[in-house]
């Protein structure tokens, strides 16, 4: 029987040909090769419509500890969930393909998994380069999140979250809003996914540690302040209704 790796890293991909050509994954490889623990990287392609899948296939053939899952299009939530449920590392991290939070921030996060079930990167006060609209949107959503669900986490939306394996498998198997068989059009960032994940973690009594991480703003068409604010509020209300119906019990 093959011993599971110490760390699994799940990276969702949707139309990331530009980042592939810019060598984003080469930086991940360079960092991980310096570590003395075993690791695997699970790349999950979300039915990309550009050259991403071909580039990922070529990359995986050249890098032994990288694996590729080719998904039909589901959106980021379903794509991350697929990878997290397949990962077998003692600890599992999911992170964004564009590396807005660089993989080197693992050094800040991993030590806390010795004492906590979940460790999440936090950009609170560190949104360098972000436009004012993004900052206002984040603060407004934080207020609504607290009032609606009582979640006392400063930054639920940072795409850099690490879990003990058994905790990850428990939580991702229980998500309701954006399950793996549900499609979210395009590659939009869905606020409800992260919020439901952390709300469920709180309900199940898991300990959560926020750790400040480096973060750089990456321009993307996947974020629309007005549309995303409306969808974020909708998701908060949906989570609240599910809770009132006892779905998370």
How high is the mean pLDDT of the chain? Answer: 88
Does a structural domain hold residue 99? Answer: yes
> CB within 8 A of 25, min separation 6: which ones?
43, 59, 66
Does a structural domain hold residue 223? Answer: yes
- Name the nearest CA neighbour of 189 among 214, 213, 224, 145: 224
* Contact criterion met (CB below 8 Å) for 193 and 94: no
pLDDT tens figures, 26-55:
999 999 999 999 999 999 999 999 999 999
Does a structural domain hold residue 202? Answer: yes
CA dihedral 105, 232, 137, 212 (to 10 degrees): -20
Does a structural domain hold residue 85? Answer: yes
DSSP label of 125: T
Does a structural domain hold residue 1? Answer: no
pLDDT at 220 over 60: no
Does a structural domain hold residue 2? Answer: no
Structure token pair of residue 223: 């974020």
pLDDT tens figures, 184-212:
555 455 788 999 999 999 999 999 999 99
pLDDT tens figures, 88-143:
999 999 999 999 999 999 999 999 999 999 999 998 655 555 555 555 565 666 66
Show the domain range for 158. Answer: 7-244
Helix (H) or strand (E) holding 246: none
Helix (H) or strand (E) holding 7: strand 7-13
Does a structural domain hold residue 46? Answer: yes
Instruction: Kindly report the CATH number assigned to the domain that includes residue 196.
Output: 3.90.550.10
Residue 91's Cα: distance from chain center in Å? 14
Q: How many domains does the chain have?
A: 1
Q: Give mean pLDDT, residues 237-243.
A: 92
Does a structural domain hold residue 62? Answer: yes
């Amino acid at each position: 029987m093959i011993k599971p790796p110490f760390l699994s890293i799940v990276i969702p991909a949707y139309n990331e040909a530009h980042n592939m050509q810019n060598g984003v994954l080469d930086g991940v490889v360079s960092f991980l090769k310096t570590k003395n623990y075993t690791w695997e990287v699970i790349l999950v392609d979300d039915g990309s419509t550009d050259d991403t899948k071909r580039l990922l296939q070529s990359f995986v053939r050249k890098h032994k500890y990288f694996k590729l899952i080719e998904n039909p299009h589901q959106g980021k939530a379903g794509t991350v969930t697929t990878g997290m449920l397949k990962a077998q590392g003692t600890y599992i991290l999911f992170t964004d393909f564009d590396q807005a939070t660089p993989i080197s921030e693992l050094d800040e996060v991993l030590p806390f998994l010795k004492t906590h079930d979940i460790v999440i990167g936090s950009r609170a006060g560190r949104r360098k380069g972000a436009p004012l609209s993004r900052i206002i949107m984040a603060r407004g959503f934080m207020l609504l999140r607290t009032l609606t669900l009582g979640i006392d986490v400063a930054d639920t939306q940072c795409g850099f979250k690490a879990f003990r394996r058994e905790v990850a498998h428990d939580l991702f198997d229980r998500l309701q809003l954006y399950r793996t068989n549900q499609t979210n059009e395009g590659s939009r960032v869905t606020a409800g996914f992260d919020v439901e994940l952390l709300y469920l973690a709180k309900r199940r009594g898991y300990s959560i540690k926020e750790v400040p991480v480096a973060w750089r703003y990456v321009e993307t068409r996947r974020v629309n302040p007005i549309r995303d604010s409306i969808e974020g509020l909708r998701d908060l209300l949906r989570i609240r209704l599910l809770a009132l119906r006892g779905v998370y019990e």
